[in-house]
Amino acid sequence: MSATIHSIEAILVDIPTIRPHKLSMTTMGVQSMVIVRIKDSDGLEGLGEATTIGGLSYGPESPESIKLTVDTYFSPQLIGQAADNINTLKVMLGRSTRGNNLAKSAIETALLDLQGKRLGRPVSELLGGAVHRHLPVLWTLASGDTEKDIHEALGLIETRRHCDFKLKIGSRALMDDVRHVAAIKEAVGESASVRVDVNQAWDESTAAKGMAELQAAGIDLVEQPTPMKDFASLVRLSEKFHLPILADEAVADAKDLYNLAAAGFSGAVAMKIAKAGGPAQVLEQAAVASAAGIGLYGGTMLEGTIGTAASLHAWSTRETLHWGTEMFGPLLMKDDIVVKPLNFHDNGVDLPQGPGLGIEIDEDKLAVYRRKG
């Protein structure tokens, strides 16, 4: 008889960032995450994580709402169910609850981690097997200060921790942003790829001017220049410029990507397990992208180590990640809640080894950063 789900706990955790992280819609000084712990009737435990970027300023789910969803709506349905039939549990949650993909992603991750530990196999094997054991990782330069960003980039290139960089822009006047980006690209030269993330801050005419300037400055990729549901502008801009566009907020799941590709979009997609509803769910999106000739990029919600590891297990199963990954979330935080942090080196990160996610909670650190009250 298979083990059943015995308990589910959703824990709010707040960890300060190493520096203010500036987005077009907010500036983050603390990363808040929801750690989900699912225990089965045999005493095994699976870990999951749901994390937002900047809370409700970014999207419709907050850390607090994720915890409420898991505690109030998901747990009563899941407790007592067979822990190993993950697809049945996903279908059940999908029928009872619309949206809430971040919360669903944490549950799917924890169930996969639990199954991997039960079988003695890594999550990547449950998803078909790892093609890569070391994945490239870029770094986001988001201080907003040109000289600080240049100094940071050059230091990271020298130590071989990162050789690709993304700049968060969109909160300032267009040409101020362009000058900031162009100066950094000039400073790093051909030794690094430089991309920008506008986080939906431009309208189409501003985006057209901005992309022309960025294309001339040698920028490699522009992420989500226009609002998330304005599919038509992304299509028109992708047809107008040879500078590729990375669709992020516009694409949550495989159906969104299909609709965007069918409308004529060419470029790349930022896959995120949180947006899609989990590691297995996001690979459906990857299959659609590959069929449509759209490039793949392993995106992040700035997750901690648990969510980052879950993403890496998914990304490792793809033959080609055309634009690499941005799984640097743990490096942005001043501390960690796991026993053994991820190994970042040689411009990337190693896929964790061992059963499940290959991650173990540090109970003392969790107690320190767990939200009180």
pLDDT in tens, 137-172: 999 998 888 999 999 999 999 999 999 999 999 989
CA distances for 93 relative to 98, 216, 279, angstroms: 8, 48, 16
Q: Is 8 exposed, middle or buried (0-12, 13-18, 19+ CB in 10 A)?
A: buried
- Answer yes or no: is pLDDT of 1 > 70: no
Q: Is 353 exposed, middle or buried (0-12, 13-18, 19+ CB in 10 A)?
A: exposed
Write b or e for each residue in 36-50: b if 16 or more Cβ atoms lie within 10 A of its Cβ, otherwise e: bbbbbeeebbbbbbb
Reported as a pLDDT band with limits 50, 70 and 90, residue 46 is very high
pLDDT tens profile 219-274 = 999 999 999 889 999 999 999 999 999 999 999 889 999 999 999 999 999 999 99
Residue given tokens 């921790």 in the structure block = 161
352, 330 contact by CB (below 8 A): no
d(CA 228, CA 272): 15
Mean pLDDT over 92-110 rounds to 96
248, 213 contact by CB (below 8 A): no
Confidence (pLDDT) at 20: 73
Helix/strand/coil percentages in the chain, nearest 5: 40, 25, 35
Confidence (pLDDT) at 25: 63
172, 146 contact by CB (below 8 A): no
Evaluated on CA atoms 114, 116, 122, 125, the torsion sign reads negative
pLDDT tens profile 270-302 = 999 999 999 999 999 999 999 999 999 999 999
Which of the residues 39, 117, 168, 272 is marked catalytic? 168
Q: What angle do CA 223, 321, 348 make, to 5 degrees?
A: 90
Q: Which residues make Cβ contacts (< 8 Å) with residue 310, sequence separation at least 6? A: 48, 49, 109, 112, 113, 123, 273, 279, 303, 357
pLDDT tens profile 200-216 = 999 999 999 999 999 99
Active site residue 249: no
Q: Which residues make Cβ contacts (< 8 Å) with residue 209, sequence separation at least 6? A: 174
Active site residue 22: no
Confidence (pLDDT) at 59: 76
Rounded percentage of the chain residues whose pLDDT exceeds 90: 90
Confidence (pLDDT) at 24: 59
- Answer yes or no: is pLDDT of 64 > 70: yes
Q: Which residues make Cβ contacts (< 8 Å) with residue 36, sequence separation at least 6? A: 8, 9, 10, 11, 47, 48, 49, 50, 70, 106, 107, 109, 110
Q: 47-51, 138-142, 313-317: which range is least confident on average?
A: 138-142
* Torsion angle (degrees, nearest 10) of CA 264, 140, 123, 359: -160
d(CA 307, CA 34): 10
> Which is more confidently placed, 58 or 145?
145
pLDDT tens profile 106-131 = 999 999 999 999 999 999 999 999 99
For the chain, list the domains and their CATH numbers: 5-120+362-369 (3.30.390.10), 126-350 (3.20.20.120)
- Answer yes or no: is pLDDT of 77 > 70: yes
368, 134 contact by CB (below 8 A): no
Confidence (pLDDT) at 142: 82
Strand, helix or coil at 293? coil
Confidence (pLDDT) at 23: 65
Confidence (pLDDT) at 373: 75
- Answer yes or no: is pLDDT of 363 > 80: yes
d(CA 309, CA 295): 22
Q: Which pair of structure tokens corresponds to residue 218?
A: 């040698």
- Sort residue 170 into left (φ over 0), alpha (ψ -120 to 50) or beta: left
d(CA 112, CA 131): 19
Which of the residues 45, 152, 303, 326 is marked catalytic? 326
